[in-house]
Chain A
Amino acid sequence: MKIEVKNLSKKFKKVIVVKDINITFKSGNIYGIIGRNGSGKSVFLKMLCAFYIPTTGTILQDGYDYIKNNEFPISTRALIEGPDFIPDLSGLENLKLLASIQNKIGEKEILETLKQVNLYEEKDKKYSEYSLGMKQKLGIAQVLMEDPQVMILDEPFNGIEDSSVKDIKKILKDLKKKDKIIIMTSHIKEDIEELSDVIYKFDGGSLKLKDAE
């Protein structure tokens, strides 16, 4: 799979948040994106997910312009600006609810994913009773559970204990070998450098190769 971003810009009223981005994401790579708060990272990721509509430019998934056609990106899962779930439901119920939308997987796959992110024991606990780390793990589980081709992870290790971070990093490295596209941001330089094949830096709405600085 290939995601081509061409001349992408986003303006809110008169403020340009993302400026003329050209980038191609290819299978089998982890892309790291760094940048200060408010640099436009999240807006860019939201445009990739078709949550926000670009002011100019296009995003093509294997040549298909899903935004122009008012569709959602195929086989893409995202965790942007923290995990968000229904507080009254348990972790497992939340995942089941999301899995029921496409009906690609059953409870067995969901439970396996929860084991992978070390959340199996707490699966029946209400989401509102989860700690920050547990919420984050559930957010990662919803990204991983349906084995998507593209994974967008915004600060995925926030609040997660070291041992689980290690496990999740291993999962991401394995997924890369399975030809997935992983786009992630992190404020921890070491995490990005350890996992990413290519690192980009967001600055003033523009995206530059970190090595090109």
Chain B
Amino acid sequence: MRKIKKYKIEIITYLLFIIFVLFSIYKMWYCRPYYGKGKKYENDLTYEKCGEYIKLNETEKIELANKYEHKIELSDKYCDFVLSYSPPDSAYSIYNSFLISSYLQYIIPFFVPLIILFPVVYVISKEFRSKNIKNSLVREDYKKYIINLFKRAYSTVWVFPLIIVILFLISAYLSNWNFAVSGSVANHFIDKVFLTLTTNKILFHISYIVIILLNVGMYINLSLIVLSKNKNLIISYIESYLLVYVFWAFIYIGIGNLLTKNFNIHSAHANLLAIFEWDSITNINIFLILNIICYLFTFVIAILSYRNKEKLIMMCEK
């Protein structure tokens, strides 16, 4: 019981994540009858109609194409392309339909930082508020203390990427372990990026998870920066949350414009919160590199924020 009390915040955070996973599973399971039937999504309709179209004679093809003219493109070339991929009920299309093309794509970018930041801010602000730092710093040097502090802040970094992996595995299970890239996925999921990488799926999966890890790391770094100046739980929580969006806006506007003007790359590649929607991102490598740079930048700033031992002790003493 005492142990539960001791780790209550970490437990609450994990519970929130578990609720999120359970909700996701429920949603996926609920949508399951639609997968492969081509009823729920426009792109499944494309797949279904292309299946019909390809079997018709030329006159019937023109009739069908005219009938769906405003909804979908029906041509030999396009239908060959769509049908050359596996049916729409692949692991990617299920994952896509849930996390990327559902309303969750708008909720998650605001919800996820909130959950990730809480255990970090709670644990570190509690340490600072307790002023236990003075007892520790006569027993270990400051550098070691800060390394341990960062380790504690990073102790939950794996939770969210793990949840993403679990959700993807559930998608894979629901699709009968079908990992082929369907035409519908090509239109939605990570747009053209995925198609450019279908030859190297493993690299794509690793990059996808690394980008999510870097994002979570960035949130942790930003909260550590805030906590070096303020030990109040509520204030530092709000400030950390706001800093995530200030940083996002700065990168999106500043770096995004730079990419567009100088390299003719869509500014969406500088949209750090696009880890789910991937809207207009056409090159995963650029997105990955930008995430690495942003992560390293926030990490260096976080380290520099803790450079001054005296200032940190004085902040804790206030």
| A residues adjacent to B (C-beta < 8 A) | 46, 49-53, 70-73, 76-78, 80-81, 84-90, 94, 98, 101-102, 142
Measured in the bound complex, the distance between the Cα atoms of B139 and A5 in whole Å is 21
**Contact of B131 with A76 in the complex, beta carbons under 8 Å:** no
Cβ-defined partner of A84 (8 Å) among B2, B134, B138: B134
Q: Of the 9-residue stretches B21-29, B239-247, B309-317, which lies at the interface with chain A? A: B309-317
**Contact of B132 with A102 in the complex, beta carbons under 8 Å:** no
> Which residues of the partner chain B approach A89 to less than 8 Å between Cβ atoms?
6
**Contact of B310 with A87 in the complex, beta carbons under 8 Å:** no
> Which residues of the partner chain A approach B166 to less than 8 Å between Cβ atoms?
none
- B162 at interface, CB cutoff 8 A: no
Measured in the bound complex, the distance between the Cα atoms of B136 and A64 in whole Å is 21
**Contact of A77 with B130 in the complex, beta carbons under 8 Å:** no
> Which residues of the partner chain A approach B2 to less than 8 Å between Cβ atoms?
90
Cβ-defined partner of B130 (8 Å) among A46, A81, A84, A101: A84
Closest 10 CB pairs of A and B: A84-B131, A101-B139, A86-B130, A51-B313, A101-B140, A52-B310, A102-B139, A53-B310, A98-B135, A72-B141
* Distance from A144 Cβ to chain B, minimum over Cβ atoms (Å): 13
**Contact of A81 with B5 in the complex, beta carbons under 8 Å:** no
**Contact of B134 with A72 in the complex, beta carbons under 8 Å:** no
- B42 at interface, CB cutoff 8 A: no
Minimum CB distance partner of B129 in chain A: A87
* Distance from A123 Cβ to chain B, minimum over Cβ atoms (Å): 13
Measured in the bound complex, the distance between the Cα atoms of B6 and A78 in whole Å is 26
Minimum CB distance partner of B131 in chain A: A84
> Which residues of the partner chain B approach A84 to less than 8 Å between Cβ atoms?
130-132, 134-135
Measured in the bound complex, the distance between the Cα atoms of B239 and A188 in whole Å is 44
* 25 examples of A-B residue contacts, CB within 8 angstroms: A46-B313, A49-B134, A49-B138, A51-B134, A51-B137, A51-B309, A51-B313, A53-B309, A70-B141, A70-B142, A70-B143, A72-B137, A72-B140, A72-B141, A84-B130, A84-B132, A85-B132, A85-B135, A86-B126, A86-B130, A88-B5, A89-B6, A94-B132, A102-B140, A142-B135
**Contact of A77 with B138 in the complex, beta carbons under 8 Å:** yes
- B80 at interface, CB cutoff 8 A: no
Proximity bits, B76-100, A CB within 8 Å = 1, else 0: 0000000000000000000000000
Measured in the bound complex, the distance between the Cα atoms of B312 and A50 in whole Å is 13
- B52 at interface, CB cutoff 8 A: no
* Distance from B137 Cβ to chain A, minimum over Cβ atoms (Å): 6
> Which residues of the partner chain A approach B141 to less than 8 Å between Cβ atoms?
70-72
Measured in the bound complex, the distance between the Cα atoms of B313 and A52 in whole Å is 8
Measured in the bound complex, the distance between the Cα atoms of B305 and A95 in whole Å is 29
Proximity bits, B105-134, A CB within 8 Å = 1, else 0: 000000000000000000000110011101
* Distance from A173 Cβ to chain B, minimum over Cβ atoms (Å): 23
* Distance from B2 Cβ to chain A, minimum over Cβ atoms (Å): 8
Minimum CB distance partner of A78 in chain B: B138
> Which residues of the partner chain B approach A98 to less than 8 Å between Cβ atoms?
135-136, 139
Most chain A CB inside 10 Å of its own CB: which residue of B126, B137, B138, B309: B138
**Contact of B135 with A80 in the complex, beta carbons under 8 Å:** no
Minimum CB distance partner of B148 in chain A: A101
Most chain B CB inside 10 Å of its own CB: which residue of A51, A85, A90: A51
Minimum CB distance partner of B135 in chain A: A98
Measured in the bound complex, the distance between the Cα atoms of B134 and A142 in whole Å is 11
**Contact of A87 with B136 in the complex, beta carbons under 8 Å:** no
> Which residues of the partner chain A approach B143 to less than 8 Å between Cβ atoms?
70
